[in-house]
Amino acid sequence: MSDDIWRRPEIESPCVKICVIHPDTRLCVGCRRTGDEIAAWSRLTPEERRAIMADLPSRPEGPGRRGGSRARRQG
């Protein structure tokens, strides 16, 4: 018997395993979702998940993400 019966066409989670909710933005530093969105993800419809995924790029990046070289940060 094939496992295809049990597969569902779901929107993948944007989780990148950096699960820290920033105290000011209240967004996850890793995926930029709210705590409520993260908690509800498994119960959301595909349409609700798509709407969240579409909105993520417009959300602020999590503070604390450093970019560039060490010298530039110290400079």
Q: Is the pTM of this model over 0.75?
A: no
Dihedral sign (CA 24, 25, 28, 31): negative
For 34, the token pair is 């709210």
CA 13 – CA 9 distance, rounded (Å): 12
Domain ranges of the chain: 14-60
- Mean pLDDT along residues 36-59: 95
Residue 7's pLDDT band, with cuts at 50, 70 and 90, is low
Higher pLDDT, 4 or 51: 51
Q: 11-41, pLDDT tens digit by residue?
A: 789 999 999 999 999 999 999 999 999 999 9
Instruction: Report the C-alpha gap between 55 and 57 in whole angstroms.
Output: 6
